[in-house]
Structure 1
Amino acid sequence: MITKRFPSPRLSRRHFLAGSGAITMAVTHPVFAQAKEMATTSFGGVWGTAYKETILDPFQKATGTTVKLKMGAPAEWLTNGIVTRRRPDIDVLMLPYPQSIQAVMQDLSVSLSEKDIPNLANVERVWIDQYDGTAVGLDYVAYGISARMDLLPKPLKSWKDLWDPAFEQKLAVPAITQAGAWELLVMASKLHGGDEKNLEPGFQALKRLRPNIKKFIGGGNEHAQLLEAGEVVAVAMSTNTTPYALQDAGRPVDFLVLEEGSMVGMVSYHVAKNAANKAAAMEFINFALAKEQQVNFCSKLIAGPVIKGAELIGKAKERVPPLDRLVVFDWKALAPRMPELSERWNREVVA
């Protein structure tokens, strides 16, 4: 088996980046009265809208703290955390993979405890332990396949089906700079006898997959445009956001979770070691991990909650795969080698 299984809840989600700069919003809560302000990071777009409506705005009504919200890209936030580690500009780094793991390896954040964040007690341990207890996940997403169901030459049931000659020049996959690429490399390795520590089988497998790949997606709306135009019949290693948006617009598109399971993505909270506003940071994280916020945010975004017993509502209830369908891999084995692996990807897989 290549999957690392975990008990019950569910899953799915995002990678929405938009804009840069910083905005400030007022937020309120009397429990930690001494906390007056804090700074954290956020994506924009659909993700940012859901975050504002279900976590930031409710927090504003419940606290007396001013939250300085820094927009931009995860690589920028991580670099900021490293450069300003002695006097951080950002109290709470919210980061996705792989920057979240790189932050752990850089020893940027404090250990989190239930004393400071009582709602940690309700979080599934996998969303804490992978960060060595120095961060906690907010929500998680499944990586699967976006498919034009009316154009598939044959059903896709296993990740191995992507290598079938019937899909020649019919697939799109992420460029190495995009979300999903590392997950595809690791999945290809696991399917062919390797793992995150032995990626050679994955590179060889992706070279064999190359005749089936018509396009390496670089971001923006390419994913949706390729499927709508029928230029490709499937996008491998995508989140559920685009396919479900197309489906809700009446397109014959679906999000497929294959038999080996789905790779998982997530964003996590990291409190800077020398943060000036640690009390406010802990209070903010505790608020985001409360059941009400988890249900509302994840249901709106079609993402998976990290706490036990959070029952999603609406379409999310059916669209978010359970935890036991997820594949969690060791990012720490990958992170130090990413520059050289990126070069190899572009040289051997793309070329």
Structure 2
Amino acid sequence: MMTRFLTGATRRAVLGALAALPLVASALPASADTDEIYVQIWGTTWQSALQDIAERFEDATGIAVVPVTQASSSEGLVRLQSAGEDPEIDVWFTTSSLAARATQNDDLFLDLPESVTELAPDLVAGAIAPRYAAAYFYPMSVIYRTDMVDAPITTWKDLWDARFANSLAVPDVTTYAGRSLLISAIANGGSIDDIDPGFEGLKALSPNVVMFYSSDATARQALAQGEVSTLVATPAQAKRMRDQGIEVEVATPAPTPMLFDVMTLVDTPRADAAAKFIAYVLSPESQKLISERLNQFPVRKDTPVAEALQSIKPDPENTISFDEAKVNANIGEWNERFQREVAQ
């Protein structure tokens, strides 16, 4: 790979092509100069917003950003761990739930430097941890096709209504860190510490569920093709539907679980340059672009929320966050039970 010898439009054309490829770790060089860094990220997230941010970062710093696409956070972690003592990835995008567990590995991850942590007062609560910083946040939402759903969805319990028989796409337990199970628990009188109502709720919901999905792309395709009318997902999926000319509405029923997608700093010789990129993603200009292009909420308090999100921004008193340590401690057991009792 010769991207560090290319400049301007030529380099960017190469990087754009790279973003579309399912690269594997062995395809990357064992080392690179600090005039480029490698960022492991979801392909759609890169193409929608981060590629433009990376180009602006290169213009400002001279440091090129080479994307390495991952189908999921879990796949990305396996790739990182397989690199052993010589990781090739400098910045890894993942979910806050997985980051809370994975970054306990002192051999693989670094604490964020002061140049990043000093930004904490400018960010929403929960956006900064010792070893990761959020790029954006989003509420778990309900996205539904207006040509297939007659009445607005206003509560989580609406999904259990018989009018949604064979109509729903719902994340499985490993997707979005068990939020579907936790939503079911809360909607049916339980909690993270009383999860049985969540499983009973998912069993009762099953006649309405076409798929418990593990891939956003698969669920999005099912909604686009009319195989389902309603999708439990993030607001970003609504933008992708509208970009295809499909009219959808978004509901954020209370209580609304909030999630972060975050950036971690991998222990490589390019860590200083990688930290500069993380800080750049947290700049006002980058945050504005993320909100507008990704249809996600900016983590900077001073960044305006994209117009398309204004109507679904949940009131703070209606949001809910979950203890990620408890989620990580229980999700393996939850998934086994889900596969045994619900997904069969």
CA contact (8 A) 2:48 2:293 kept: no
Which residue number corresponds to residue 151 of structure 1? 148
CA contact (8 A) 2:122 2:300 kept: yes
Alpha-carbon distance change, 228 to 92 in structure 1, aligned in 2, over 3 angstroms: closer
Could you list the per-position Cα deviations for residues 155-184 of structure 1 after superposition, in whole angstroms to 9, with x for gaps in the alignment? Answer: 42111222223333332223445x347211
> How far 1:207 moved relative to its partner?
1.0
Q: What is the Cα-based RMSD across aligned positions, in Å?
A: 3.0
Distance in 2 (CA, whole Å) between partners of 1:160 and 1:313 is 28
TM-score normalised over the length of structure 1: 0.78
Which residue number corresponds to residue 257 of structure 1? 252
Which residue number corresponds to residue 56 of structure 1? 54
Distance in 1 (CA, whole Å) between partners of 2:209 and 2:165 is 7
Matches within 5 A, 1:64-75: 64-73=62-71, 74-75=73-74
Relative contact order (alpha carbons < 8 A, sep ≥ 6): 1 or 2 greater?
1
Could you list the per-position Cα deviations for residues 248-299 of structure 1 after superposition, in whole angstroms to 9, with x for gaps in the alignment? Answer: 55544211111322x2333211113x33222212211111111111112221
The correspondence for 1:271, drawn from 247, 265, 270, is 265
- Code of the residue aligned with 2:69 in structure 1: it is M
- Whether 2:290 is the aligned partner of 1:293: answer no
Which residue number corresponds to residue 9 of structure 2? none
- Give the number of the structure whose residues are more often helix, by fraction: 2
> How far 1:305 moved relative to its partner?
0.7
The correspondence for 1:160, drawn from 157, 161, 165, is 157
> How far 1:153 moved relative to its partner?
5.8
Task: For residue 216 of structure 1, give the secondary structure of its aligned residue in structure 2.
Answer: strand
Question: Could you list the runs of 5+ residues in structure 2 that have no partner in the other structure?
Answer: 1-18
Distance in 1 (CA, whole Å) between partners of 2:149 and 2:35 is 55
- Code of the residue aligned with 1:94 in structure 2: it is F
Which residue number corresponds to residue 192 of structure 2? 196
Distance in 1 (CA, whole Å) between partners of 2:48 and 2:153 is 33
Question: Could you list the runs of 5+ residues in structure 1 that have no partner in the other structure?
Answer: 1-16, 25-33
Alpha-carbon distance change, 168 to 151 in structure 1, aligned in 2, over 3 angstroms: same
> How far 1:47 moved relative to its partner?
4.1
CA contact (8 A) 2:167 2:228 kept: yes
How many residue pairs were aligned? Answer: 318
CA contact (8 A) 2:111 2:131 kept: yes
Which residue number corresponds to residue 88 of structure 1? 87
TM-score normalised over the length of structure 2: 0.79
Which residue number corresponds to residue 343 of structure 1? 336
Alpha-carbon distance change, 48 to 228 in structure 1, aligned in 2, over 3 angstroms: closer
Alpha-carbon distance change, 303 to 86 in structure 1, aligned in 2, over 3 angstroms: same
Alpha-carbon distance change, 135 to 97 in structure 1, aligned in 2, over 3 angstroms: closer
The correspondence for 2:209, drawn from 213, 217, 231, is 213
- Code of the residue aligned with 2:322 in structure 1: it is F
Distance in 2 (CA, whole Å) between partners of 1:283 and 1:66 is 12
Which residue number corresponds to residue 11 of structure 2? none
> How far 1:230 moved relative to its partner?
4.2
Could you list the per-position Cα deviations for residues 69-93 of structure 1 after superposition, in whole angstroms to 9, with x for gaps in the alignment? Answer: 3222422332343344644322222
Which residue number corresponds to residue 300 of structure 2? 307
> How far 1:226 moved relative to its partner?
3.7
